[in-house]
Structure 1
Amino acid sequence: MSAKDKDGKGPSQASLLVELARSRYELVMSEDGRPYGVQIGGPAVVMPLRGKAGLRSRLSLEFTDANAGQVPSQSALADAMTVLEGLAGKVDPVPVHLRVAGGPGRIVLDLGTADGRCVLVTPDGWTVEARSPVLFRRSGTMAPMPEPVRGKDGLAELRGLLNMDDSGFHRLVAWLVAAWIPHIPHPVLTFKGEQGTGKSKAAQTVINLVDPSPATKRSQPRDVKAWATQAFNSWALCLDNVSAIQPWLSDTLCKAVTGDGIIDRALYTDDDVVVLSFRRVLAMTTIDAGALAGDLAERMFLLDLQLISEEQRRTEEELDATFGEARPAIIGSLLDLLVKVLKVLPTVKLERKPRMADFARVLAAVDQIQGWTTLKDYTSTSENTYADALEGDPFGSAVAEFADQQASWSGTAGRLLELLPPPDGFHPKWPKDATRVSGQLKRLAPILRSVGISYDDSKRSNDRKRTRLITLTRDPGISASAPSAASATRFEQGELADADPNPSVRTASGQRPQPPRADAADAHADAENTAASATRTPADQRRNPSADATDTADAVLQAISGQRPPCTTCGHPLDPVLTTIGATKHPTC
């Protein structure tokens, strides 16, 4: 093949490039609409048409080698790529995978090597194959995986690299096995612990087993688009040192667990789009991620790490060297366990199916093989996570405490909002209207259910408006989490009682007091106790809020029952709360 002079005779450079590509590469289109080239007779690894590691660069080099060092022009390369994209679009789309592929009967693990080797895993065993039976794509965030070896106790070597108890280690092993089963959702592995527990190193070890990368630990993405780019190019990734999870990131992580897709406008086009679709294996390290949204809490796989003493602490260099030597054996042992899981998984039946039911079946299979209790430990830890998430949501905590008091309650969202005023009159996470109450309750429903409170909004009232009714029912067999001090105070003051013998009687802040006591003597004593309680510290009030709350309510009611004194400035009656503290005029006067 030779290029002609620029006299118009002979094929152009673009034509020669297209001819060269068609003779050496198969053009395919992925299911998400991306054109790729696959070397004929070479590894089953696709190359994008453009980019540094794409077909464009490869063709440019091959053209130069075949034409005595002549370099193709940029315009010829651009014209050739346009033609090749058209050729790729003529064939039916094919699946293109990242790192791992397959289903219940066969799993293919891409080792990420230049020669395209892979590991084929079936219920009968695993083997290293020279060429993958499915197409894989590579990205700049991927690193090669060492070839696994048999015959060594890799799990014992892995145990020596991690500072966690046996229960946590067993759950981690089960999570690692499930991470290579691509057709199921995987909960977010969360390493939690104080400083000095080795969270980041543990996460780095885990990611380098599942999906090695030169960037195993990532910072929190700044927006959805940045996150989608990271997730599209890695099968497993870890967010390191998470201190708070923004609502958009919480929703994004939930979707990445079960499967997500991002559609964006293609670069330099007006109407063409690109699709980033993925379901990923995620990990996270945190000291305290703050209040978790209920749907994310359901998808967490929490592992607490133990503090490393100075005598037991090892250097990074020592850990890396030990892990490098042990990694082939660790991967081999995990593959041995994966083979057994694939064999028994079709026979595993769960009596109760939690939210992550497919993952729970894998845990049950591992327990059946190893004699562990990973499923039981996972569900127990999840219940604690739900309780933490409920405590971190002020409205959810108030609803739980309200349900504890009422046992069973039915009413409108607006009525519930009246009965649950925000602490101190305002809270940024408190729903502002009835519509937001319904929406927030739906998000909280799984967590409320985990503490024995069922939520139902399927009924409607019998009046002409046919208003939707909310029903909260407490399961007496399940205890809810302990109420917060602020909410406990509101309950003891009677704010949340649905049965209101005198709904017109309220304090200035809109709170509903308890029924009055028998005589004025009690009121006088209560007023004195209320005045005395003003000298108590906030910590004292949090430790024992009920007595003062009741005393204050009684004093307020006594003030209401009598004639309210006038303000010394404007002459209008003083509010009951002001009279209980001895005020003689309104604060605004």
Structure 2
Amino acid sequence: MTLRTNGTTTADITDLAKKIVAGNGIDPDKKGPSQATQLAALARERYELFMSDDGRPYGVTIGGPNLALPLRGKAGLRSQLARQFADTNNGTVPSQSALADAMTVLEGVAALADPRTPQLRVARHAERIIIDLGTSDGRCVAVDENGWQRLPASPVVFRRSGAMKPLPAPISNGDGLAALRTLLNTTDEGFQLLAAWLVAAFIPDLPHPILAFRGEQGTGKSKGAAMVIGIIDPSGAPKRTAPRDLKSWAVQAFNSWAICLDNVSTVPDWLSDALCRAVTGDGIVDRALYTDDDVVVLEFRRVLAMTTIDAGALAGDLAERLLTIELQLIPDHKRREEAELDQAYADAHPAILASLFDLLAKVLKALPDVELTERPRMADFARVLAAVDQVTGWHTLDSYRATAADAVADVLDGEPFAQAVVDLVDKAGPDSLTLTASQLLEGVATPDKLPKKWPKDPTRAGGQLKRLAPALRTIGIEVDDSQRGPKPKKQRLYKLTASPERRCETASPASPAAPQTPVTCENRGDASATPVASPLPVRGDAGTAEGDAALFPASPHDTASDLQRYDQGDTGTAGDAEMQHLSNPTPECTACHLPLDSTLAAYGETTHPGCDPVPAPNSPTKRA
């Protein structure tokens, strides 16, 4: 017992406090609710809780902006709840354990609600496109076929990230696209294609090609890319270096609508594949923090850009997703200081957005009536370009096709094996080549020092040819691997065919030995007019009757020695007869009477695989 100076004790003070509390109808022996309980009750009172489709809990302020605050992590609803608790409890700060316990309860409440997916910067809502301006009060812009308007609140739930900055409110103040044109040093054709890409960047539900600013040093690639990305999705880091691994890339892509990789010289295979997936839609699964069996999913489809000097270093599938804008060298007397350029860009940004939204509204109105007779690889984007051309009179679709073809050609120029295959097909003339992977690897011109990507065996040669097939098709060379060789090996055969247009481009003058018959696209395939040499070197003397007899056995049966030589890709065997351009009539299958592949005929086969053989006259048995 402690005595006070006035003669009272602490026990007396405690009894007095209990009497006062009891006099107000409160049980003095009953403890109040814990901090965790108060936090959970406060959150359920002020926030609408739900779980996203990928399993992330969020809360939206009731009666406030339609912004999703994540429950996990120290930013978001957790910090907001701590501040509100302190405001309602005379500045008392909740403990970290109380916050953690409250978050666990709130996650369980969110799991019971219907799942929703918060959008990032751009979203589709019915017939309108909603663009989040990124302001704290949740303002947005809605665009439909009738025009655009600013809204005080978004009808779509958006989420924010630390990488995002606000967009300025669009203002119709003159021609914003003309103002943007003065900031970029490209051609009129290139600028029109860029403007069409910017319009498509605000359409969320389609794949967007990767914008590639290409040019030599001093063309303003990095600054131009930063301005273009800032028009769509401003960020504190508009230009970024290539990520070091897949996880760091997924985190960047998940938290930004538009991303620019600056000064790309080489792209690792894993990053090339990741960029391709980000164009069409990707999802990365990772283990959740502090768990053994729980996972988190990062889903995204993004608008991407890059700056590069050499696009030939890119993989073929990535090059097919590029939209290349060539930048011109800036003369010294026209170069502007960065502060001046930044101020001009900031002043023009609201008008640029207004002009883009005007054009977007016209495109949305024209899109339902646009039909493409031929669809390139990025067909959805090509349809948007066709709508842009319809309402503006531009020719962006033709420009896009031309830039796509140039990008693929650059990739082929950087692939030594692809160049060797192209040379092999061009030397073959009008006839197609049908050969195995081992024959292909032996038939192409091999460099003295093998490049890094040169296939080391027939299996890799076949796989690389399959990967190069789309790029080869772009320059007029078809690759068909649906055929199989004769039994019992049934090796895969690759048929390489040059298009008539490519044959015309690569046609050579007539040989001096036959000047009376000029070679044209019409008679180039006529072996009687102009003999064509074999595209592959032939081992041994195949020009004599004895050599011919060795190459074309009379027996229809495949002997073990024949199969062994065919399997090894020996150009002196019957397997090379497919690549000999003969003037003999095409043989027919004795069962179905359709043309018989020359490889089967040279190997003594008389029927297609799968057709029932017809026994020869006076033959007592039927060949199996």
Relative to the length of structure 2, the TM-score reads 0.76
- Looking at structure 2, the residues matched to 211 and 389 of structure 1 have their Cα atoms a distance apart, in angstroms, of 30
- Conserved 8 A contact 2:164-2:256: yes
- Give the drift of 1:432: 2.0
Question: Over residues 60-103 of structure 1, what are the superposed CA-to-partner deviations in whole Å (9 max), with x where a residue is unaligned?
Answer: 11001101111111111100000011111112211211000117
Counterpart pick for 2:341 among 315, 319, 323: 319
Aligned to 1:412: 436
SS in 2 for 1:454: strand
Instruction: Tell me if structure 1 keeps the 8 A contact 2:233–2:257.
Output: yes
> After superposition, what is the alpha-carbon deviation per residue over 1:261-303, rounded to whole angstroms, capped at 9, x for unaligned?
1111111111111111111100111122442211011001001
- Of the three residues 392, 410, 435, the one matched with 2:414 is 392
Given the alignment of the two structures, is residue 447 of structure 1 paired with residue 458 of structure 2, yes or no? no
Go from structure 1 to structure 2 and tell me whether the alpha carbon gap of 1:479 and 1:210 turns closer, same or farther (over 3 Å shift). farther
Q: 1:476 to 1:28 in 2, by over 3 A?
A: same
Which 5+ residue runs of structure 2 have no aligned equivalent? Answer: 1-25, 507-532, 548-568, 573-624
Deviates more, 1:85-94 or 1:424-433: 424-433
CA distance in 2, matches of 1:459, 1:511: 20
1:539-550 to 2 correspondence within 5 Å?
none
Q: Deviations over 1:215-268 (max 9, x none)?
A: 100011111111111111000010011111111111111111111111111111
State the distance in 1 between where 2:153 and 2:398 align.
Answer: 40
**Pair 1:265-2:287 in alignment:** yes
Structure 1 counterpart SS, 2:130: strand
Give the letter aligned to residue 179 of structure 1: A
Per-residue CA shift, 1:472-516, capped at 9, x if unaligned? 11112136999xxxxxxxxxxx99527666479xxxxx9989xxx
Kindly report which structure 2 residues correspond to 1:90-105, keeping only aligned pairs within 5 A, or say none.
90-102=112-124, 105=127
% same residue: 61
Question: Structure 2 matches for 1:138-287, cutoff 5 A?
Answer: 138-287=160-309
**Residue pair 2:53, 2:116 contacting (<8 A) in 1 also:** yes
Per the alignment, residue 83 of structure 1 pairs with: 105
Name the stretch that deviates more: 173-182 or 283-292. Answer: 283-292
Does residue 1:457 correspond to 2:489, yes or no? no
Report what 1:334 is aligned to.
356
Describe the SS at the equivalent of 2:501: coil
Alignment partner of 1:437 is 2:450: no
Deviation readout 1:433-476 (Å, 9 max, x if unpaired): 22222221121111000011001111112322222211111112
Matches within 5 A, 1:570-581: none
Question: Which amino acid in structure 2 is aligned with residue 148 of structure 1?
Answer: P
Cα distance in 2 between the residues matched to 1:463 and 1:480: 37
Matched, 1:428 2:452: yes
Q: Say what the alpha-carbon RMSD is for the aligned residues.
A: 2.4
Correspondence 1:356 to 2:395 = no
In the other structure, the counterpart of 2:528 is none
In the aligned structure 2, how far is the partner of 1:338 from the partner of 1:480?
A: 42
Instruction: Measure, in 1, the Cα distance between the counterparts of 2:129 and 2:294.
Output: 34
Distance 1:5 1:319, change over 3 A: farther
Amino acid in the other structure paired with 1:187: P
Contact 1:218 1:239 in 2 (8 A): yes
Cα displacement (A) at 1:53: 2.7
What secondary structure, in the 3-state scheme, does the structure 2 residue paired with 1:422 have? coil
Which residue pairs with 2:57 in the alignment?
35
- CA distance in 2: counterparts of 1:419 and 1:33, whole angstroms: 54
1:29 maps to amino acid: M
Is 2:135 the counterpart of 1:113?
yes
Could you say which residue in structure 2 is the equivalent of 1:497? 536
Change (3 A) 1:431 1:299: same
What is the CA–CA distance in structure 2 between the aligned matches of 1:311 and 1:17, rounded to whole Å? 63
Cα 1:246–1:495 change in 2 (3 A) is farther
Contact kept in structure 1, 2:439 and 2:571, CA below 8 Å: no
In structure 2, what is the Cα distance between the partners aligned to 1:200 and 1:92? 44
Residue 418 (structure 1) shift: 2.1
Letter of the structure 2 residue corresponding to residue 17 of structure 1: L
* Helix, strand or coil at the partner of 1:191: strand
The letter for the 2-side match of 1:43 is P
Q: Is the contact made by 1:239 and 1:283 (CA closer than 8 Å) also made in structure 2?
A: yes
Larger CA deviation: 337-346 vs 432-441:
432-441
In the alignment, what sits opposite 1:570? none
User: Is the Cα–Cα contact under 8 Å of residues 451 and 480 in structure 1 kept in the other structure?
Assistant: no
CA deviation string 1:369-398 (max 9, x = no partner): 111111111111111111111111111111
Match for 2:417: what amino acid? F
Cα distance in structure 2, aligned partners of 1:394 and 1:148:
50
How far is the alpha carbon of 1:5 from its aligned partner? 13
Q: Which runs of 5+ in 1 are unaligned?
A: 483-493, 505-509, 514-589
SS at match of 2:331: coil
Deviations 1:9-65 (A, max 9, x none): 121111110000000000011111110010001111101113343111110110011
Mapped contact 1:387–1:447 kept (Cα < 8 A): yes
Q: What's the secondary structure of 2:193's corresponding residue? A: helix
Does residue 380 (structure 1) correspond to residue 402 (structure 2)? The answer is: yes
SS of equivalent residue, structure 2 residue 137 = coil
Structure 1 window deviating more from structure 2 (470-479 vs 369-378): it is 470-479
Does the 8 Å contact 1:96/1:137 carry over to 2? yes
Whichever residue aligns with residue 70 of structure 2, its letter is: P
1:378–1:480 distance in 2 versus 1, CA, 3 Å: farther
Match of 1:97, SS? coil
Shift of 1:426: 2.8
* Structure 1 counterpart SS, 2:332: coil
Decide which structure has the larger Cα Rg and report it.
2
Residue 538 of structure 1 aligns with which residue? none
Tell me, yes or no, if the aligned pair for 2:538 and 2:571 is still in contact at 8 Å. Answer: no
Instruction: Find the aligned partners of 1:466 and 1:138 in 2 and give their Cα distance.
Output: 57
Amino acid paired to 1:15: T
2:50 equivalent to 1:11: no
Aligned residue pairs total 496
Closer, same or farther: CA 359–393 of 1 in aligned 2, 3 Å: same
Change (3 A) 1:107 1:75: same
The more displaced of 423-432 and 262-271 is: 423-432
| Amino acid in the other structure paired with 1:10 | G
TM-score by length of 1: 0.81
Partner secondary structure for residue 477 of structure 1: helix
CA distance in 1, matches of 2:354, 2:151: 15
Q: 1:495 to 1:218 in 2, by over 3 A?
A: farther
In structure 2, relative to structure 1, the CA distance for the partners of 1:422 and 1:495 (3 Å cut) is farther
Distance 2:29 2:540 in 1: 102
Equivalence for 2:87: 65
Amino acid at match of 2:385: L
